[in-house]
Chains A and B, each alone.
Chain A
Amino acid sequence: MTGTTPGFSQLRLDGVSRRFGSQDALAGLDLTIRTGEFIALLGPSGCGKSTALNCLAGLLPLTAGSIWQDERRVDTLPPERRGFGMVFQNYALFPHMSVRANVAFGLRMRRLPRDEIRRRTAEAIRLVRLEEHAGKLPGQLSGGQQQRVAIARAVVLEPSLVLMDEPLSNLDAKLRLEMRTEIRRLHQSLGLTTVYVTHDQEEALSLADRLVVLRAGRVQQIGSPQTLHTRPANWHVADFMGYRNLWPMRAVSPQGALVAVEADGFRLVGDPMGDVAPGDAVMAGVRPEDVRVGEPGEAATNTMPAEIEVVEYQGRELAAEARTATGIRVHLRTDRRVAPGDAVALSIDPERLLVFPSDSDEAPSAPLADPAGARLAEPGLVG
């Protein structure tokens, strides 16, 4: 496909905000998107990621801020004049039009010559491999095929920006993986700048060049998949990026570049993420796959005796839940054949145990949703 839409070198979101009544759905999103980039907006439901996408598309007016395409301000344009393609969560295919007519719709709206419409439509349908279904109505297609039509309909215009709103969330697990590869393949072959909204961290990590993690309408972290995976900016991001073990603890003393933390007379050494002073309340986080299972009686740094409580079979590995002698629950993954009731020693590499400052000074609405934060206030953990 040859580009017809004027490209841009960067798209700049400048303090983009949206309020619903007295609630901030999105508060001051600053983001610069370079052309050709694949950006994922990631966060739990209600974090403002769909709001951000709708603001970009022009389907939702901004409460504050502006959006710039190079030196051209676009947030004041209606959606039909922005020239951004969008793929909706429920596909939003026109049910009364054939696949071909759906894909041709945008080209027809641009009043392009008939021959060009026919050629580009056929090309887009071939790109998503739906040639033999071109004459069907959307209702006659499966979910995955409908999704491919929706993608073809958006990319046929060669938009300067493609917006995708949880496009895979209505598909079953197997199809989701296939479509993920498909989307990646399309992005690599067409090089279209893409903003992709999802609540699935795995999807975001596998697709995006850069991730934007949102929580309660605010940006928590912007970074590459590697950065987010290994160095989450705060424990909320860690929680979202698969650090299933998050323990409220208290910092004791620095140990070189590391820091010792403890709770209930139980002491660990971890890598501080941010400023952690002795006496601070902290959250210590580790991924289940970074918890090692050893024989009982092992004694090394960060080793704790525990008993396996629940075991889930997951193919090559087992996902298990163990409880330490001091009552802390640990999620872990192991290829050892453990069984409930087994006594084990769990150890964690200090480099893999991330120690985050607790955010006790947060807005009062935020910690309500998180019982881990609330546990900090319990007197047993203090001192």
Chain B
Amino acid sequence: MSVTTSPHATVATGPPRTPRAHWRHRLAERGVDGQLWLLAPAVLFVVLLFLYPFFYGLGLSFQPTKGGPFSDYARFFGDAYQRGTIWTTLGLALPAALLNVLASVPIAYRMRGRFRGKRLVTILLVVPITLGTVLTAQGLLNFLGPTGWFNRVLMALHLTDEPVRLVHNYWGVFFSLIITGFPFAFLLVLSYLSGIDPTLERAAATLGAGWWQRFRTVTLPLLMPGLATTFCLTFVLAFSVFPSAVLVGNPAGETRVISIAAYQAAYEQYDYPYASAIAMVMGAIELVIISVVLLARTRLYTGSSGGKG
């Protein structure tokens, strides 16, 4: 190599080595960059409001006031009165979640296109979200109660001689779960449906499929994963029912849901470890149901459905 003034030649004479990327590039490659700070508030919230209380409660549930670490769990499952709350709650939450999802499908299906007054109809269907549980309960008592309009109409029409009992029992809580849960289910199903390319149904039509065949063979299979997710969310909402179970239900009897059992342990007996154990059981049941549904969901087609949503 002769003497040269070119800087390129100087580089070329050095030993061959692969240039190492700057550490910033290597971090960016793994998605680590300044934008990660945007996650900070969320992380803080999750740690403070979910992880800490959860693990605190979990620890507490293993430190009962008397007996071994599992004695509060044994106490809950050993007591038929307490154990029964699981079935009571499932008996409310499962049918309510299922009905919410099933009722949303035809309405959302009809409303997926563009039509006049769509916004108004959507607002009407979604308004119940803005009502609190207490307001809903109040409305239910007024409307469905023994002297409410519903029963008065029934009696005026001589369809029944004495008021039909629709509040302060199972049905009161069930209606309340429908009223508060349906808007969520409807909005979710509507957005899943608008994510399905409408050309698919038109293609099915040109191939000779009538409306029911189009729905059953094209739209429904593509919608199923969305319905599974929707079911999980509305189920979780319904499973943690508390205010309406007290206000429009029969909290000492047929609507004594699991959250009432936890509440009584915590704030009537002041037995926090026992209440924590009940809360953990509650969480575990929700997890089991969701796992089953999501496991079934993985067997469905979950890829692209061609839409813009």
Contact = CB atoms under 8 A, between A and B. Distances in A.
A59 interface: yes
Interface stretch (B153-161, B170-178, B194-202): B194-202
Contacts of A96: 221-222, 301, 303, 305
B306 to A, nearest CB: 6
Given A86-B203, A105-B217, A92 B306 contact: yes
B252 to A, nearest CB: 49
Interface in B253-304: 301, 303-304
Nearest to A89: B199
Which of A80, A96, A106 has the most B CB atoms < 10 Å from its CB?
Answer: A96
Which of B206, B208, B209, B210 has the most A CB atoms < 10 Å from its CB?
Answer: B206
Question: Binding site of B, secondary structure by majority: helix, strand, loop or mixed?
Answer: helix
B213 interface: yes
A138 to B, nearest CB: 9
A92 B202 contact: yes
Nearest to B196: A95
Contact of B208 (A88, A110, A163): A110
Interface string B188-220: 000000000101101111111110010001100
Nearest to B221: A96
A83 B203 CA distance: 12
Nearest to A82: B206
A320 interface: no
A80 B206 contact: yes
A90 B197 CA distance: 10
Contacts of B200: 92, 94-95
A109 B209 CA distance: 6
Nearest to B200: A92
Contacts of B202: 57, 59, 79, 86, 88, 92
B199 A80 contact: no
Contacts of A81: 208
Nearest to B206: A86
Contacts of A135: none
Interface string B18-49: 00000000000000000000000000000000
Contacts of A94: 200, 203-204, 217-218
A137 interface: yes
A43 interface: no
Nearest to A137: B303
Nearest to B225: A96
Contacts of B209: 80, 105, 109
Contact of A105 (B197, B207, B222, B304): B207
A95 B210 contact: no
21 contacts: A59-B206, A79-B205, A85-B206, A90-B199, A90-B306, A92-B199, A92-B306, A94-B204, A94-B217, A95-B200, A95-B303, A95-B305, A96-B221, A96-B301, A106-B208, A109-B213, A153-B207, A154-B206, A154-B207, A157-B208, A163-B206
A-B complex: 3 closest residue pairs judged by Cβ atoms: A96-B301, A106-B207, A92-B203
